[in-house]
Amino acid sequence: MAQQRDAVAPLLAKPDAAEPAPVKRNKYPFFCAVLASMTSVLMGYNVAVMSGAQIFMAEDLGISDAQIEVLSGVINIYSLVGALLAGWTSDRLGRRLTIVLANAFFLAGPLAMALAGGYTTLMVGRFVAGVGNGYALVIAPVYAAEIAPASSRGLLTSLPEIFINSGVMLSYVSNLAFSGLPVHLSWRVMFAAGAVPTVFLAAGVLTMPESPRWLAMKGRVAEAKAVLNKTSDTAAEAEQRLLEIEDVVNAGASGGAWTELATKAGVRRVLAIVLTLQFFQQSSGIDSVVLYGPRVLAMAGVTSNTLLLSLNVLFGVAKAGSILIAMSLADRAGRRPLLLASTGGMAVSLLVLGTLFAAFAGARDDAAVAAASFAAVVAFVVAFSVGLGPLAWVYSSEILPLRLRGQGAGLGTAMNRIMSGVVTMTFISLYQGITMAGAFYLYAAIAAASFVFVYTCLPETRGRSLEDMEELFHTK
């Protein structure tokens, strides 16, 4: 193995200033990652469609604020089931079939919601969709990371996040588009629309190649080599990626993944980083805006339901569009600068939003206050989406060792969903208890703490191969 590596090493030397042109990037892994990540559209749609649907559900079924709060947030708790099973499923069935399974849940869950006649059936539908969410959150970034060459890994592992936010935006458009239907139909059509693409996506996923790292883990080295030849920038890179994957697979063959997660110092450090990063991503309050944006703006002085839903669409556009910045810069500027700019911007915008609510709490019809509040919320959404939103997934997926990636990604996703559930299931009670200003001041403090965490604990990973991470974080 060492002789093989020595033989290809000269071919893999990085180009110096004297070389005329960089190696042309391979486009094929981009298309594979796009197709795998499109399942994330359904995840974003199913979570955020409650934002506008809750207005009409409450009127049609007489659902209380407490029940709305639970229905909105419990999908994130339910997704723990899928997140914790995703590592086991993806290691045994493969990455592709796990994505197909996620689509099956996204078909059944929204249909159950659309046909629901009461609160109990709504909860069942949210459970089924939640399991699909957990699967999608884990497997899409893992597949993208494992199919991508180092030159474009930041871009490709950002794709699930851009598609999640595209789903969020589409759910807001759906809320607005179907709001004119009769009340008993409007919210049902909003949920049913999310089931339409699942069959087509599942069929498309089966045309993708399997992850080369999963193939190597299963001893199917020839197939892994064939996939690497199609997804690497050069033949030499494909050979080197295969050698590195085989080294990691062989090194990890002797021990259990869960034992290593619990006992190895370097692995514990990586797992702690993943869990903390996912904690901060959600505890800083992004889902309070995603799911309760119309309610926040209503308390800031916006009174028309149509205007509220229209402004919500603008939130979705800003959130999805901003991730394009992260995608374009992740492999150029690096992970740390984007994360620091993001967390700092989040803290400032949340502080401004809290101050507006504190200073003008009684200004229900003040257009200037409403406009300033809307601008602060948009600033928060943009700051989140250019860094912490997508890069928490990028960073988490690339620092976990191959042999532990499925289990580690599952644990990180579990932390993410728990905190999202806590935020969304407590937001109404929180602002009723400590005022809207107090709620956003709390989120601002958490965002500031996340800035400190990024600055002190996260090394730069841009341009490193996935196997290089084992040296950087001492996980070999």
Query: Distances from the Cα of 241 to the Cαs of 137, 235, 401, in angstroms?
Result: 25, 10, 14
Which of 94-103, 198-207, 354-363 has the highest average model confidence (pLDDT)? 94-103
pLDDT of 391 > 50? The answer is: yes
pLDDT classification of 14: cutoffs 50, 70, 90: very low
pLDDT classification of 280: cutoffs 50, 70, 90: very high
pLDDT tens-digit series, residues 35-94: 888 888 898 899 889 988 988 888 888 888 889 888 888 898 898 888 888 888 988 889
Tokens representing 431 are: 């602002």
pLDDT classification of 315: cutoffs 50, 70, 90: confident
Phi and psi dihedrals of 234, rounded to 5?
-140, 160
DSSP of 360-405: STT-TT-HHHHHHHHHHHHHHHHHHHTTHHHHHHHHHHHHS-GGGH
The three-state DSSP-derived secondary structure of 55-69 is HHHHHHHCCCHHHHH
pLDDT tens-digit series, residues 413-454: 788 888 988 999 999 899 999 999 999 999 999 999 999 999
Tokens representing 83 are: 């997140």
Residue scoring higher pLDDT (468 or 147): 147
Q: Measured between alpha carbons, how far is 316 from 142 in angstroms, rounded to an integer? A: 25
Name 142's Cβ contacts closer than 8 Å, sequence gap at least 6: 90, 95, 211, 397, 405, 406, 409
List % helix, strand, coil for the chain (3-state, nearest 5).
80, 0, 20
Query: Distances from the Cα of 59 to the Cαs of 48, 55, 65, 418, in angstroms?
Result: 19, 7, 11, 29
Residue 404 and residue 466 in contact, taking contact as beta carbons nearer than 8 Å? no
